[in-house]
Amino acid sequence: MKRAICHYCLALWLPLWPLVSPAAAETTSTRQVLRQDDRQLEVLISKQYAPAMRENLLQWADYIAGALDRVYGHWPDRRWQISVVPAAAASASDPIPWAQVHRGEVNRVEFFVAASASPDDLRRAWTGYHELAHLLIPYRGWGDAWFSEGLASYYQNVLQARVGLISEDQMWQKLYDGFQRGLAEKRFDGMPLGAVSEKLRDEGGFMRVYWSGAWYFLAADTRLRLQSGGRQNLDMALQKLNQCCADKRLSVPEIVEQLDKLNKVVLFGTLYREVAESTSVPPFAGIFASMGIDVRDGEIYLQEQGPGARLRRDIARDPTQAAPIGANPRSAL
């Protein structure tokens, strides 16, 4: 089994042992099943939580799972798991200090969550959307971390907008602020992103790695939309990849090769090489301008007219028109 770690969380919370009480790993869990047509999500929640908190956590898992299907209309896996255990080192401002994705025969996203987190705190925590977004690609779990983390950093904001948790303005502001954080991390300027990403856990560079990766997916999404007049986009490209290769474990070069082939474009591979060789977060002003986004004194302003504005709004809009989130039928097993 491969494990893909949320490296940013790792940087904030080393060493790992203070996060979870020693008995947490041995504690039995309740098991609930959420269903979506022929797809199944098993939610495993530690019995260390009080019963009322377990219900809050189940509702939260249902909510973020509902957000995940706002990309291509269904969950990426036919069977997958979310597990939740208590985190000792947590705060009101960060109720989910640690999470990780376990890649295997059944993919599992593991969350370490404060025992006192409120339902609203959980819904508003970016970590849930970030970690689940990792499942949108059939990644093998190692190599080119900037690509996987960039995907999750881009979609964590898009998904929150699509479920109505944040506005379109807030979504673009969060992306802008993220790019600024990436640019502000100067220590690795001049080094190719691929090299920084390879040494991420040992030497840092999280903001550079995460937000250069997010730039890749923003660039791919906007280029597809602009060049096709809205007939193609990143959601559709990832859906084709899921249809082709959901049961595979691919390297990033294999993923971008499939994305170009399946979508009949010369984009993902070329952009992959460009970003991997970049020596700082690539410029985003041109992308913003093409989508009708102005920036003044660090604040974004959205234009209401023009083709770019229409395509920009589509990024934040739910493309699936699915049932309201939290409406997945569930059964206890």
Per DSSP, the three-state class of 192 is: coil
Helix H or strand E segment including 56: helix 51-68
Between residues 45 and 94, the one the model is more confident about? 45
pLDDT tens per residue across span 15-70: 333 344 434 444 589 999 999 999 999 999 999 999 999 999 999 999 999 999 99
In the structure, what pLDDT confidence band is assigned to residue 307 with cuts at 50, 70 and 90? Answer: confident
Between residues 295 and 329, the one the model is more confident about? 295
Give Cα separations from 88 to 13, 130, 135, 137, 168 (angstroms): 11, 21, 27, 31, 34
Give Cα separations from 282 to 120, 209, 274 (angstroms): 35, 11, 9
Instruction: Give the pLDDT of residue 329.
Output: 45
Residue 316 in this model has a pLDDT that exceeds 70: yes
Six-digit token string for 156: 């964590």
Cross-strand bridge partners of residue 278: none
Helix H or strand E segment including 5: strand 2-5
In the structure, what pLDDT confidence band is assigned to residue 113 with cuts at 50, 70 and 90? Answer: very high
pLDDT tens per residue across span 169-214: 999 999 999 999 999 999 999 999 999 999 999 999 999 999 999 9
pLDDT tens per residue across span 249-277: 999 999 999 999 999 999 999 999 999 99
In the structure, what pLDDT confidence band is assigned to residue 320 with cuts at 50, 70 and 90? Answer: confident
Residue 12 in this model has a pLDDT that exceeds 90: no
- Are 64 and 132 in contact by the 8 Å Cβ rule? The answer is yes
Residues 95, 118: Cα–Cα separation, whole Å: 9
- Selected from 1.10.260, 3.30.70, 1.20.58, 1.10.390, the CATH number assigned to the domain covering 145-316 reads 1.10.390
Identify which of 319, 163, 133 has the alpha carbon closest to the alpha carbon of residue 236. 319
Relative to beta strand 39-46, strand 79-86 is parallel
Instruction: Give the pLDDT of residue 325.
Output: 52
- Mean pLDDT computed over every residue of the chain: 90
User: Could you state, in order of their start, the residue ranges of all structural domains in the chain?
Assistant: 2-136, 145-316
Instruction: Give the pLDDT of residue 28.
Output: 85
Instruction: Give the pLDDT of residue 50.
Output: 96
Residues 78, 139: Cα–Cα separation, whole Å: 16
Six-digit token string for 86: 């208590």
Residues 5, 8: Cα–Cα separation, whole Å: 9
Instruction: Give the pLDDT of residue 326.
Output: 52
Cross-strand bridge partners of residue 64: none
Instruction: Give the pLDDT of residue 93.
Output: 76
Q: Residues of the chain with pLDDT > 90: what percent?
A: 84
Residue 330 in this model has a pLDDT that exceeds 70: no
**CA 248 and chain centroid, separation:** 19
